[in-house]
Amino acid sequence: MRAIFCAFYGVVFLLPSLNAAKAEIFVKPPALESMVDFWETVYVGVSTDEGLLHDSDNLALVYETIEIDLDSSRPERKAQIGQRKEYWRGVLLGLAAGTPPVGRPETHVVEAFTKALGRAPTTEDYRLATQRLRFQQGQREKFKAGLVRSGAYDAEIRQILRIHRVPEELALLPHVESSFLIHVYSKSGAAGMWQFIPATGRRFLTINHTIDERLSPKASTFAAAKLLRANFEKLGSWPLAITAYNHGAAGMSRAKQKMGTDDIGVICRNYKGRNFGFASRNFYAQFLAVRRVVLDYEAYFGPLKLATPMDVDKWILPYFIDAPGLSDYLNLGTQSLSSLNPSLAQSVWRADRWIPKGYELKLPAGTLKGDAQTWIAFVPMNLRHAKQRSILYHTVTVGETLTHIARTYGTTIDSLVALNGLANPNQIFPGQKLEMK
């Protein structure tokens, strides 16, 4: 087994590599080698209580490993990282001015620059690098936990990808997106295992005040498969299709046209398109790093007991139904039932809305005993409804704030934020419809 030597100030790793089986469609151009190695190190070599201070354009340039106190506040951690950035900014400016490197850390920087550039660094190289200092938190524990969680979903995801003629190994993408967390939300409002933003999600999924299928592992996987297949048919290569999952098919089509090539290495290294930032440029390299680790995870983490799919009963509802009432009838807590049905909104568990007719409700295994139809017939009539419960809406007018609206309706800002899935409570706009109950 070949070993990859990853070295930077304060940390040295010997990481095993993998055989290149099945690598044909997932090409790894030499231009991406250092990027893949960097993300492999982040995923398996650096703990979550430390991180790498590095160059955002050339990931082979890692200045130091910074230990962080996870119990400290975010401003405190930001200040600590900021101090180290200022230190290295000073070092780089000194090198740009011709000051000789002092000590091993600074000598390492000069050597790393020389190796990365293939020539002696210039004053301009050092000066520009002062604008590219970036901190990346380690993810070893997070990645390991996600790997364990993935066992519960892997088989179903691969089956769905096969149906849509998508390579099965793209079942690994949630490691990049969410670490297989079902309820995770990003700052940009992306949600669920596959991290769909609302606009993209609505192309394939139901997203409303009752259901958000982005939080359903099965429904969101069908959506991801459709999107990935559409990306491939538009762009003609899986590396570009994967990158388009982050940057958009139209954006990658522009990149391909602008650069005059579909070489993912050339595009990621040289394309300077609008919004083609750090995340988009590194997305495919992250996938390759994940693939390298997961295909031989025991070499990195040792034996792991992966989660297994949960055994559940499924009931396609023939009517609308009261969720809290059903939980009481079944002697289940609403938390137990909601954990099996993550796509149902909080309004359902507050009984502001009923579980929709036709919804495939998951119940603990063994709930539907004997003849399911007979069991269903005994569900109390007071829990059944012929139509959905009505919603009270408020249309935002010019100058209104969420504080004012909450006070008017006798509710709280937190309630309105949760009910309407607001990413930023300070950003509502005239004409926007907000659900009140």
- For the domain that residue 191 is a member of, what is the CATH number? 1.10.530.10
Same-domain status, 294 and 364: no
pLDDT at 47: 97
The answer to whether residues 7 and 92 belong to one domain is yes
Domain count along the chain: 4
Q: State yes or no: pLDDT of 195 exceeds 90.
A: yes
Contact 315, 368 (CB under 8 A): yes
Q: Which residues pair with 316 in a beta bridge?
A: 360
Kindly state whether residue 28 falls inside one of the protein's structural domains: yes
| pLDDT above 60 for 7 | no
Q: Specify whether 148 is located in the same domain as 297.
A: yes
Question: In terms of domains, do 366 and 400 share one?
Answer: no
**pLDDT higher for 295 or 427?**
295
**Are 206 and 222 in the same domain?**
yes
The pLDDT confidence band at residue 109, using thresholds 50, 70 and 90, is: confident
Closest listed residue to residue 180, CA positions, set 220, 212, 211, 213: 220
Asked if 68 and 80 count as a contact pair (C-beta separation under 8 A), the reply is yes
Classify residue 218: in a domain, yes or no. yes
Judged against a pLDDT cut of 90, whether residue 410 lies above it is answered with: no
Banded model confidence at residue 437, pLDDT cuts 50, 70, 90: low
Sign of CA dihedral 68, 73, 75, 76: negative
End-to-end Cα separation, the chain, in angstroms: 60
Q: How far is CA 89 from CA 82, 95, 278, 424, in A?
A: 10, 10, 20, 33
Residue 189 to residue 429: CA distance in whole angstroms: 17
Range with the poorest average pLDDT among 89-93, 264-268, 339-343, 373-377: 373-377
| 116/189 same-domain check | no
Q: Is 67 within a domain?
A: yes
Q: Which of 228-237, 239-248, 344-353 is predicted least confidently?
A: 344-353
Last residue of a domain, one of 96, 115, 137: 137
- Identify whether residues 156 and 194 lie together within a single domain: yes
What are the tens digits of pLDDT across the range 318-369? 999 999 999 999 998 889 999 999 999 888 998 889 999 999 999 999 888 7
Q: What is the reported pLDDT for 14?
A: 36
Q: What are phi and psi of 240, to 5 degrees?
A: -70, -40
What percentage of the chain reaches a pLDDT higher than 70? 95
| Domain harbouring 408, CATH code | 3.10.350.10
The residue among 23 and 249 whose pLDDT is bigger is: 249
Please indicate, yes or no, whether residues 168 and 253 belong to a single structural domain of this protein: yes
Domain hosting 355: range is: 312-385
Same domain for 76 and 21?
A: yes
Q: Is residue 286 part of a domain?
A: yes
Shared-domain flag, residues 289 and 418: no
One domain for residues 117 and 152: no
> To the nearest whole percent, how much of the chain has pLDDT over 90?
67
Q: Does 177 fall in a domain?
A: yes
Residues 198 and 241 in one domain: yes
